[in-house]
Amino acid sequence: MFDQIVTEPEHQRKGLGRIVMGALSNVSIASESKIGVLVATEDGCALYKAIGWTIVSPVTAAVIG
């Protein structure tokens, strides 16, 4: 499982996110994962759509207090 993968702002728009996601996908495929689930920011969502992921449902984060 991978969590909170981030490309720092000064390194964005250079293809690094695409490379990292490709590498993580390859690890998941090699371990015979059958399904992938992402929760993303708006910027992350744009990347994931660009590399072939499909939006199934939006997610809303909320806290109380």
Residue of 21, 24, 13, 7 whose CA lies nearest to 51: 21
Predicted TM-score (pTM) of the model is: 0.71
pLDDT on residue 27: 92
DSSP for 34-63, please give it. --------HHHHHHHHHTT-----------
CB 65 within 8 A of CB 50: no
Q: Answer yes or no: is pLDDT of 1 > 90.
A: no
pLDDT on residue 60: 83
pLDDT on residue 32: 93
Reported as a single tens digit per residue, the pLDDT across 2-60 is: 888 888 999 989 999 899 999 999 999 999 998 888 888 888 888 889 999 998 888 88
